[in-house]
Amino acid sequence: MGLQALIYLFVGLSFALYIGIAIWARAGSTKEFYIAGGGVHPVLNGMATGADWMSAASFISLAGIISMQGNDGGAYLMGWTGGYVLLALLLAPYLRKFGKFTVPDFVGDRYYSDLARVVAVICVIFISFTYVAGQMRGVGIVFSRFMQVDINTGVIIGMAIVFVYAVLGGMKGITYTQVAQYCVMIFAFTVPAIFLSLQVTDTFLPQLGFGSKVAFHFDDGVRMIDKGTYLIHALDQSIKDLGFKAYTDSISGTFNVFMLTAALMLGTAGLPHVIVRFFTTPTVKGARISAGWALLFIAIMYTSIPAVGAFARLNLIKNVQNVDYQAFSKGEAKHLDGTINNGAWFKTWEQSGLLAWNDRNGDGKIQYAAGAAFEGNGKPQFIDKLGAHGERLTANPKPAHTASAEQMRASGKVVNELYVDNDIIVLANPEIAGLPNWVIALIAAGGLAAALSTAAGLLLAIATAVSHDLMGKVFYRDAKTGLSKLSEKAEMRWARLSSVVAIVVAGYLGIYPPGFVAQVVAFAFGLAAASFFPAIIMGIFYKRMNKEGAIAGMLTGLIFTFGYIIYFVFMGGNKADYLFGIAPTGIGTIGMILHFIVAYVVAQITPPPPKEVQEMVEMIRIPRGAGSASAH
């Protein structure tokens, strides 16, 4: 069967599965819609949380980022997993005992204030939308690259699928679909990773292949790297030869890596669509264990990601360094051991614009090294012409030089001719490694599973914030009893209506991306770290914290983080003016510290919270009597 047919088959089958599950798991009540009835088994809940957590970015981009950043990529790995330890130890069991539906529920009740609740709702909506736009874009990209449909059509198909199971099934539908999506995703990531590991290191498990010896000789353009060198050493040596920093060295410096890791960890523990996951388990004990399962399922993929990144970097050097472009793209080039080095993939990805070659010394061979291959902003601007060897030409000025491959080898200074987009590391890796077609088809289904599962979780968080927190708890609240005046049915209608609106907005953002999707992710994490994390922690562990302190703290954290990111990312702030040299991606950590300080000081000079609230804090600290979650 051809590659296209296989891709359609795999993607089609996975979609049919998701929709089937959605129909089977329709939600009948608000409790089912918001928290899947509160009776999801911890292992299944952990699996669903894992799928929810691992986004299109984790699946498609993370290995690529690590591949290019080496050591510093560890910030993402530790940050996106370490947050679960904070969740399990500091938040999950208490929020489960609190026993309601949402994060704004907790903030609003614990700080006995509608203002706090509304601030929380706005944060949830903002954080979730920034995130979901990226997912929809991810869906579009996978569709366009693997199935030859237009990105926009891809986004619309993705919207339709999510629509079916999120609107029909709510949290219940989403949870069971995500269990299936986790299985698809982990299979799709692990199979090519195992193939690669066997190919590069003769070791079955990629996690162990990472620390094994390279199974082939290769020429990095400056020297020969011997078979039997440890993978890490081979990488360190070869990329140092090519003018990069060693793979195990830090590029951005210890301090920035520290701040970024902290912001990602704290952000993870403050993201509303993740926190809400722990409302769905039957018991407090279940919430704790469920966080463990979630992290285990995440770690299965996250520990193979750095291995895939390393294999990919090595394979790239091995396959393209000093290879004759024409022979390569026709599938006639050979590796040192005489096997065919088929560069058909290079043509495919050059066509999609994610790869480009600039034959600066005119020798017809590709050279890969540090530095920009294209002048201007470093990205190729393709024109509709082919060069002497059949490569796509660009409008970028061409800084030519005359050094031949042999002269560069002798001087140890290779000049870069290659543009590589990080995303192709996962997407093109199976093709680069020459893996069979069905493995490539798997990657397409896996990428879609990753994007759709995360998008659904986020859309639900938005819908719940609107229907439950805003409509039920603010607009339609009975002033006397403090309860929602909406009937169960009416609230469900609001929930479904707001998920429809959220999906449409998300789709719009996917089709017309604001142009800074990558940067806004820093926003989501920074804001979650600076707003929810401290507010919830103090709500549980500091009984004296009152509404004045909490509101002052949240606003301080939000405004500081928001302002810093806006100034340095969108208003062209100068790097030299960074506070203590901290990049905007890591500023959430400072926002969080400010939040804690301001909240503490304000709480000291204002009256303590009322007695009922203090009793509530005591109640959530003791697991006994958790019962099932209730609306009131």
Binding site for other proteins (CB under 8 A): 66, 71, 73-75, 77-78, 81-82, 84-86, 88-90, 93, 207, 210-213, 230-233, 248, 250, 254, 257-258, 261-262, 265, 283-285, 288-289, 291-292, 295-296, 299, 302-303, 306, 541, 618, 621-626
Choose among 577, 442, 458, 464: nearest CA to 524: 458
CA distances for 549 relative to 51, 259, 369, 526, angstroms: 36, 25, 53, 20
Q: For residues 291 and 466, which CB has a smaller minimum distance to other proteins in the complex?
A: 291
The nearest distance, CB 509 to other proteins, in angstroms, is 32
Per residue, the 3-state secondary structure of 272-297, as one string, reads: HHHHHHHHCCCCHHHHHHHHHHHHHH
Q: How far is the CB of 594 from other proteins (least distance, A)?
A: 20
CB of 103 to other proteins, least distance (A): 21
In the complex, the smallest distance separating the C-beta of residue 138 from other proteins, rounded to whole angstroms, is 23
Please identify, using beta-carbon distances, which residue of 210 and 345 lies nearer to other proteins: 210
Shortest reach from residue 534's CB to other proteins, in Å: 16
Q: How far, in whole angstroms, is CA 384 from its chain's centroid? A: 34
> Do 480 and 511 meet the contact criterion of CB atoms below 8 Å apart?
no
Supply the minimum distance, in Å, between the C-beta of residue 79 and other proteins. 9
Q: Rounded to the nearest whole angstrom, what is the least distance from the CB of residue 291 to other proteins in the complex?
A: 6
Give the nearer residue to other proteins in terms of CB position, either 10 or 84. 84
**Which residues are CB-contacts of 366 (< 8 A; sequence separation ≥ 6)?**
320, 321, 322, 323, 325, 328, 357, 417, 418
CB of 85 to other proteins, least distance (A): 5
In the complex with other proteins, which residue's Cβ is closer, 75 or 373? Answer: 75
Closest to other proteins by CB, 439 vs 626, is: 626
Q: Which one, 210 or 218, has the nearer CB to other proteins?
A: 210
- Output 54 or 435, the one with its CB closest to other proteins: 54
Q: Judged by CB, which is closer to other proteins: 308, or 441?
A: 308
- Closer residue to other proteins in complex, CB, 248/381: 248
Q: From the CB of residue 233, how many other CB atoms can be counted at a distance below 10 Å?
A: 15
- Whole-number minimum distance, CB 539 to other proteins, in Å? 15
DSSP of 533-561: HHHHHHHHH-TT--HHHHHHHHHHHHHHH
Give dist(CA 54, CA 57) in Å, integer.
8
Closest distance to other proteins from the beta carbon of 86 (Å): 8
Q: What angle do CA 61, 192, 311 make, to 5 degrees?
A: 65
Under 8 Å between Cβ of 175 and 36: yes
Whichever of 91 and 441 has its CB closer to other proteins, that residue is 91
Q: Which is nearer to other proteins, 250 or 352 (CB)?
A: 250
Q: Is 39 exposed, middle or buried (0-12, 13-18, 19+ CB in 10 A)?
A: middle
Among 475, 513, 351, 492, which Cα is nearest to 421's? 351
Tell me the residue type at 255.
Answer: F
CB closer to other proteins out of 542 and 600: 542
419 beta partners:
356
Shortest reach from residue 434's CB to other proteins, in Å? 25
Determine contact, residues 374/356, Cβ cutoff 8 Å: yes
Report helix, strand or coil for 397: coil
Q: Answer for the pair 420, 316: CB distance below 8 angstroms, yes or no.
A: yes
Least CB distance from residue 628 to other proteins, whole Å?
11
CA-wise closest residue to 107 among 604, 598, 455, 534: 534
CB of 89 to other proteins, least distance (A): 5
Residue with smaller CB distance to other proteins, 138 or 209: 209
Least distance to other proteins from the beta carbon of 155, Å? Answer: 33
Where do the H-state alpha helices sit in 352-478? 405-411, 424-427, 429-432, 437-464
Of 330, 370, 367, nearest to 347 by C-alpha is 330
Q: In this structure, is the dihedral angle defined by the CA atoms of residues 529, 122, 160 and 424, taken in order, positive or negative?
A: negative
Residue 600: burial class (beta carbons within 10 Å; 0-12, 13-18, 19+): middle
Cβ distance to other proteins smaller for residue 79 or 192: 79
CB 368 within 8 A of CB 319: no
Closest listed residue to residue 245, CA positions, set 127, 59, 331, 371:
371
| Residue with token string 């669509």 | 273
Is the alpha carbon torsion for 77, 79, 80, 81 positive or negative?
Answer: positive
353: its two tokens: 């614009």
